[in-house]
Structure formats: structure tokens, C-alpha cells
Amino acid sequence: MSNCHIHREAIDAVKNFSLPQELPFGKTIAPVMVKVHYNKGEWSKSELLPYSPLTLDPTCKVLHYAQEIFEGMKAYRVEGQGPLLFRPEENLQRFNMSARRMAMPEVPEEIFMGAVEAIVGACAPIIPRRSGESLYIRPFMFASENGLGIKPAEHFIFLVVASPSGAYFSGGSVQVQIEREAIRACPDGVGFAKTGGNYAASLLSMIEAKKQGYDQVLWLDALHKRDVEELSGMNFFAVYNNRLVTPKLTSTILNGITRKSLIQLARHQGFQVDEETISIDQIIADIQSGKITEAFACGTAVIITPISHLGEKDGTRYALPQAVGEVSMKLRNALLDLQEGRAQDTFEWVKKVAPLA
Ligand SMILES: *Cc1c(COP(=O)(O)O)cnc(C)c1O
């Protein structure tokens, strides 16, 4: 991996690491990381190092002004070949789109891909092997400059860490509260960027929703509080028998790679897929009349998670006809078959990574 210097200690750290029995999603952290510094237009040599804490000055700008972006991607273990990444160039493009919006430098392709391939290559022996399990990969970048003055930073750190993870999806479904008061993202703000602040903005609603027995929050558009947008970290689909509907992309919706892939995959399988603005009133009416047969949320971590109920803050629930829908499960399995290398890769979505050492 010419674009990333591999430290011997990092390879040793992986050798000395053993996977715990239980692998809750994102809890176990791989013992290595890639680190690159950016300083006034120059990128340092990318390095794969043993995992370790960072030392930050208390006035480090990210801690005050939230100049931070991230990505989430997975590598699957495939017997007899190297780990498989899923559409990593999509993550690179989105990362750099987020970077532009947050006034951060774009990470050159060879640095981003070199870093991801180095960590995946090094972690190949510690990717869990059961179906649905994976190495979750988290590239991120933040303003590392010190000082309380508000100005765009010139120093950044780009890091990649990883987590050997169990399947996020346990076979169940989720209940989703419609958020009719708070908003996640406003037009031409930062909703389309994968930046930590969007998550910070969602947490209070999440806490409230949990008190009512919900698992997730469904966000509406900021201007009218009328049109369905997405969940805090997942995109939304409603299924009308053989037709799928998902909100069309705007500046307030994150362009999910799972969403995009499912649209292509579902069309390939003969479903009609419409990307359109759809009001929450319409969704509720269509659930109640039985036109909507199922609904699901999708994202890299869960792939697809079926939605059993939408509901209000006061506890009113709208039950989907199928709590764990057939279409949802069919699409989920089809996508996982591609990601885990069982299905023919007709879309050329998977990328093999060479194991290191
Ligand atoms: C990451 C994310 C998604 C899902 O995107 P994927 O590329 O499918 O993982 C959806 N919504 C938000 C807000 C996100 O941050």
C-alpha cells in the first residue's frame, strides 16, 4: 500500500488482538488507525499506527465550532478472497462534498482509498465471519487548529478507525416517532453533509422518543413540517405493493449510498421506484387505508430495518400492515448477497482488498 506507511507495531497489534465473543455494533474497536495531517495545503504521509488516544489542546477548534465530517462504510469477510468493500468511491465523493460544505480541504483519492485499504488489509484477520457481521469503517476529519478565534481552520487531521461488528439488525423491526416540532436540517443548511452537528441536533428528540417506547425519529421538512425527509441516520422508504417511494433528495436529506443502491437494485428486480415529495399526512392516510404495505429505513449500519409502526408523541400508533415486510427482507437479502460476494456483482459495486501480511 504505497499511499500509506504501515508500521510494524500496527501489524503486531492486530496479531495480538482477539475478537470478543459479543460484538455489539461499533463497540469493539480495532487496535489500529490511519492518521494524516493537513497543514496549509500540504498533506503529511499517511500512516497506519497502533490505535491510541489523541492529544488535543482545549482550544482545538473542532471542540468549539464543530468543523468535523465523517463517513461510515463496511468491509465484509469473504472466504477464499480478500475482504470486500462496498462502493467505497461513493464514500470518497460524499466525504469531499461534506468537506466543501464545511470549509475543509478535500482529501485526495489516493489518501482516502490508501487509508481505507490499509486499515481493511491490516484488519482482515479480525473481521468476524458470520453473515451480516463486518468491519465497520469510520473515516473522519476535524479542525485541529488551536485558538478561540472564529475563522476557518488551516490545520486538520484525517483519521480512519474501524470496528469489528456484529450484525446491527437482530431480525426485528423498529417503531418510529414522527417529529412534528424540532427540525434536523433547514434548506441550504448542512443537512446533506455528513457532519457531527446534524447528529447532535437530533439527540434530544431521540431521548423524548425513547420515553414513548419508540426506537427512532422521523424528520419532516423544516419550512412546513409537512413533508417526510429521513431518520437521524437512515433514509426512509414506503412500500406500496410493487412500488417503492422515497423522499426525493434535497439539501436537507443525506444522500445515502444504501438508498441509492436499493433504488437501482429494486428497479433491477422489477419494482417501480419513485423519488418524490410525500407528506406525512399522505403516508398516514395510506397506512390506514392499507395502500402502504410496509415501510423501512436504510443505511450502511442496518442495511434495511423494517418499520412496524409510525407514531405520534402522544402515543398514537399507525401500524404497518406488515411489521417485517416481504419486500424489505427480499431487498435486504439481495443487497447483503452482493456485499458478501454470494451474488454476481452485476453493478460492479464490490471492491476486493488485499490482506496485509
Ligand atoms: C449516513 C447517513 C445515512 C445513510 O447513508 P448510507 O450511505 O446509506 O450509510 C442517512 N441519513 C443520515 C443523516 C446519515 O448521516
- Using the structure block, give the residue that is written with the C-alpha cell 460544505: 101
What spacing in Å lies between the alpha carbon of 259 and ligand 1's midpoint? 8
Q: Cα(149)–Cα(25) distance, rounded to whole angstroms?
A: 38
Domain 4-166, what fold?
D-amino Acid Aminotransferase; Chain A, domain 1 (3.30.470)
What are the start-end ranges of the H helices in 151-279? 196-211, 257-268
Neighbours of 270 (CB within 10 A): 7
Question: pLDDT value at position 2?
Answer: 60
Q: Are 128 and 165 in contact (CB under 8 A)?
A: yes
Listed in sequence order, the residues at least 6 apart from 103 whose beta carbon sits closer than 8 Å to its beta carbon are: 67, 152
Q: Cα(97)–Cα(345) distance, rounded to whole angstroms?
A: 27
Q: Are 220 and 179 in contact (CB under 8 A)?
A: yes
Q: Which residues pair with 140 in a beta bridge?
A: 70, 159
Q: Cα(298)–Cα(336) distance, rounded to whole angstroms?
A: 12
Pocket residue to mutate for ligand 1, from 234, 236, 253, 302, most atoms within 8 A of Cβ = 234
Pocket lining for ligand 1, CB < 6 angstroms: 72, 194, 198, 230, 233-235, 254, 256-259, 299-300
Buried b (16+ CB within 10 A) or exposed e, 102-137: bebbbbeeebbbbbbbbbbbbbbebbbeeebbbbbb
What spacing in Å lies between the alpha carbon of 233 and ligand 1's midpoint? 5
Instruction: Please write the tens of the pLDDT for every residue from 290-330.
Output: 999 999 999 999 999 999 999 999 999 999 999 999 999 99
Domain boundaries, the chain: 4-166, 174-324
What spacing in Å lies between the alpha carbon of 249 and ligand 1's midpoint? 12
Q: Which residues pair with 275 in a beta bridge?
A: 246
Residue 165 three-state SS: strand
Question: pLDDT value at position 3?
Answer: 83
Residue 240 three-state SS: strand
What spacing in Å lies between the alpha carbon of 309 and ligand 1's midpoint? 21
Looking at domain 174-324, its CATH architecture is: Alpha-Beta Barrel (3.20)
What are the start-end ranges of the H helices in 103-147? 109-123
Q: Do domains 4-166 and 174-324 have the same CATH topology?
A: no
Instruction: Please write the tens of the pLDDT for every residue from 110-169.
Output: 999 999 999 999 999 999 999 999 999 999 999 999 999 988 889 999 999 999 999 877
Pocket residue to mutate for ligand 1, from 138, 263, 264, 300, most atoms within 8 A of Cβ = 300
Listed in sequence order, the residues at least 6 apart from 165 whose beta carbon sits closer than 8 Å to its beta carbon are: 23, 24, 25, 26, 27, 28, 128, 133, 134, 135, 136
Residues in the chain predicted with pLDDT less than 50, given as ranges, are: 1
Q: Ligand 1, atom 5: nearest CA belongs to which residue?
A: 256
Neighbours of 58 (CB within 10 A): 8
What spacing in Å lies between the alpha carbon of 200 and ligand 1's midpoint? 15
Question: pLDDT value at position 354?
Answer: 93
Buried b (16+ CB within 10 A) or exposed e, 210-241: eeeebbbbbbbbbeeeebbbbbbbbbbbbbbe
Question: pLDDT value at position 150?
Answer: 87
